[in-house]
Copies of this chain bind each other. A is one copy, B any other.
Amino acid sequence: MKELDRILNGEESLSMDEPIFDVAQLAHVELLTPDLEGTLCFLKDLLGMQETERQAGSAYLRGYEEQYHHSLKVTAAPRAGLGHVAWRARSPQALQRRVAAIEATGLGRGWIDGDVGHGPAYRFETPEGHRMELLWDVDYFTASAGQKTPLRNRPQKRPRSGVPVRRIDHLNLLAANPGTVRDFLVDILGFRERERVVSDDDGSVVASFLSVTNLSHDIAIVPEPTDMRGRFHHVCFHYISVQHLFDVAELAKEAGIAIEHGPARHGIGGASFLYMPEPGGNRIELMGDPGYMNFDPAWRTVVWKGSEVPAVGAIWTGSPLPDSFWNYGTPPAEERPASPTAASMARA
């Protein structure tokens, strides 16, 4: 267990090379839903999200503090799951550097001309098949006359419907081998690993929480309990107060939407949260206050033993997470088509 002690004490060697700062932020996430109208009703009426545009089976939404055209694309599909994740580079030069690095791994899938709301993007996959893209050129949201606000740093008025979220915060993906995905994000894209869960037995990576920003994580990778690939755990939107979690939980309860867990507070990341499935089946996290932020440029990864996670890491204050949290992802396992090929096609 010397190796585990070494890891827990943060004694891994720190490279003296200059770090990579080429990825700036999570730009948007695409969710697939078998119930487009139900999903949109949830996002708009309960979470107060704004629909910017609708085209060809997809709707584009944003929180009221967001500057871009959208942070969430919702696409009608036979089953729930992740469409793709888009990251924005820090500069055109940074984009070129990262594309070159991705291409060298063989995980690149080539450029697209753009999509609604953004320009050229380079597509790639994680080692476990999650579809991602990297881009620089984005469209900004323009408020209509009725949405304009005298608050110059806010793109539009605060909505009067539901309990409105402010912005996208992070996403969470399932992986059979979280360490492999973590290595790809760290080595090729320049993410920093803020927290990690390791096996009590051998110190191998069980889960990883990484960011390119000052947030505790922009992305998390957690263990896949089935033999499916590329599955989605949740996407998180941000409020500013635990009060908002209680407020939206009431609306959800009275709308007949199940609350999976919360309001409670995570140990890892430290944020207050609420988990709910949207009508299409994808898990949505809502964050009250953001927990801690990290500013230390030499941040030493916080390492947890797997045995500590249920009682402290996953839940710092509140009740234990239910089994569904550890087992459920989208597409759901029970709806899994017979052949992996079909599954892969369904996601396409």
Contact = CB atoms under 8 A, between A and B. Distances in A.
Interface string A286-315: 000110110111000011100010001100
Contact of A152 (B250, B290, B303): B303
Interface stretch (A78-86, A104-112, A235-243): A235-243
Given A254-B158, A263-B264, A24 B152 contact: no
Interface in A47-84: 65, 67-68
A46 B157 CA distance: 13
A215 interface: yes
A67 B296 contact: yes
Nearest to A45: B160
Given A150-B254, A160-B162, A290 B240 contact: yes
A219 interface: no
A180 interface: no
Interface of A: 16, 18-19, 21, 24-26, 45-46, 65, 67-68, 88-94, 149-154, 157-158, 160-162, 166-167, 194-195, 213-216, 240-244, 246, 249-251, 253-254, 259, 261-265, 267-270, 272, 289-290, 292-293, 295-297, 302-304, 308, 312-313, 316-319, 322
Given A151-B267, A153-B194, A241-B289, 17 more contacts: A24-B297, A45-B160, A46-B160, A65-B292, A67-B296, A151-B316, A152-B313, A153-B292, A158-B250, A160-B161, A160-B251, A161-B161, A213-B214, A213-B295, A241-B242, A261-B319, A263-B317
